[in-house]
Structure 1
Amino acid sequence: MIDVGSTLDLKLEDTEGHPVSLADHAGVDNVLIYFMRALSCAQCNAHAQSFVRNQAQFDDANVSIIVAVPEGVTEAAAWKAKKNIPYTVVVGEEGTPHQSVGLLKKVFGAMQQSGTVLVDTDGIVRYTHASTIPTTSFNSGEMTAALAELKPVSK
């Protein structure tokens, strides 16, 4: 998994086929990238919905949310529409977005790891969390603490 204090340059594509870059957020807003294990993962879907329910917390910290999935653009677009996800949903331009941050397939190569990365307005990684077990792929308490440590953004 990528280290706190490092920078992150991902080659991503949204569900409409447009390139997505963290550089677009530099100096503007912080970015939380949630890497789902799979679109069919019930726990990952629950985590994605928890972001929607807690949107005020992310708004207060000036955080844009991106949901990264290992499937293709067509599957990601259908999932986004079906689940009414208001966030940018991305896939990798080359390989999965998961590979680019070191989230591997574990347990005999059958289970994709999931995780969370928080990047500040300067492009510095401020928080990471990775898990092979879906129920522990997102830690609300740790995320709340990481959000509180972000520097205020001038608007």
Structure 2
Amino acid sequence: MSDRLAPGDTAPAFTLPDADGNPVSLADHLGRNVIVYFYPAALTPGCTKEACDFTDNLAVFAAAGYDVLGVSPDQPAKLAKFREQESLEVTLLADPDRTVLTAYGAYGEKTMYGKTVTGVIRSTFVVAPDGKIAHAFYNVKATGHVAKLLRDLKV
């Protein structure tokens, strides 16, 4: 498990395929605020709730100057199915080798149902226009997280 990121750290650069297999880079968003959220698996109840909440608030985030990227270890084809099935508008990125998840400290040991397991740590990062981490939230809850993020960002 990598170290956790903190405000002021440089956001690890990445280029990952989206649900259509097209490359998307963090650098594509330089000069804008970017919300990068990491979730365990497409097409699961908690991750669906979180992705739908981001989609429902995408216009609010955009109006406040934020782009939103969701990252999971799923393959692009599963992300495409997830997007279609749930009518998601948020950009979903595939990190099947977990390189980016690890770089952000969003993959490692966590407690699940009282047991220690290795997996995706549901996390959200706000990357400032200069490429630095403005906010780092680890172990977030799928339900209510987007509302809390809107409050924390005063959006």
TM norm. shorter chain > 0.5? yes
Native 8 Å contact 2:71 2:93 kept in 1: yes
Using the TM superposition, give the Cα deviation of residue 147 of structure 1 relative to its aligned residue in structure 2, in angstroms: 5.1
Using the TM superposition, give the Cα deviation of residue 111 of structure 1 relative to its aligned residue in structure 2, in angstroms: 4.5
User: What letter matches 1:128 in structure 2?
Assistant: A
Query: What is the aligned counterpart of 1:13 among 3, 17, 42?
Result: 17
User: What letter matches 2:153 in structure 1?
Assistant: A
Using the TM superposition, give the Cα deviation of residue 18 of structure 1 relative to its aligned residue in structure 2, in angstroms: 2.1
Using the TM superposition, give the Cα deviation of residue 11 of structure 1 relative to its aligned residue in structure 2, in angstroms: 3.3
Identify if the C-alpha distance between structure 1 residues 143 and 133 changes in structure 2 by more than 3 Å, giving closer, same or farther.
closer
Identify if the C-alpha distance between structure 1 residues 96 and 109 changes in structure 2 by more than 3 Å, giving closer, same or farther.
farther
> What residue number does 2:134 align with?
126
CA RMSD, 1 decimal: 2.4
Using the TM superposition, give the Cα deviation of residue 60 of structure 1 relative to its aligned residue in structure 2, in angstroms: 2.5
Q: TM-score, normalised by structure 2?
A: 0.79
User: What letter matches 1:91 in structure 2?
Assistant: A
Larger displacement relative to structure 2 (79-88 or 91-100): 91-100
Instruction: Choose between structure 1 and 2: higher strand proportion.
Output: 2
Structure 1 residue 109 corresponds to structure 2 residue 117:
yes
Equivalent residue runs for 1:23-102 within 5 Å: 23-27=27-31, 29-92=32-95, 94-102=97-105
Using the TM superposition, give the Cα deviation of residue 46 of structure 1 relative to its aligned residue in structure 2, in angstroms: 1.0
Using the TM superposition, give the Cα deviation of residue 84 of structure 1 relative to its aligned residue in structure 2, in angstroms: 1.3
Q: TM-score, normalised by structure 1?
A: 0.79
**What SS does structure 2 have at the residue aligned with 1:80?**
helix
* In structure 1, distance between residues paired with 2:85 and 2:59: 23
User: What letter matches 2:89 in structure 1?
Assistant: P
> What residue number does 2:6 align with?
3
Native 8 Å contact 2:38 2:122 kept in 1: yes
Q: Which runs of 5+ in 1 are unaligned?
A: 149-155
Identify if the C-alpha distance between structure 1 residues 38 and 23 changes in structure 2 by more than 3 Å, giving closer, same or farther.
same
Percent pairwise identity: 25
| Matched pairs, number | 146
Identify if the C-alpha distance between structure 1 residues 24 and 125 changes in structure 2 by more than 3 Å, giving closer, same or farther.
same
Native 8 Å contact 1:11 1:93 kept in 2: no
* In structure 1, distance between residues paired with 2:55 and 2:141: 22
Native 8 Å contact 1:103 1:113 kept in 2: yes
Q: Residues 104-154 of structure 1, C-alpha deviation per residue, up to 9 Å, x if partnerless? A: 242332553111111121111111111176557x36334432355xxxxxx
State the 4+ residue runs in structure 1 displaced beyond 4 angstroms.
132-136
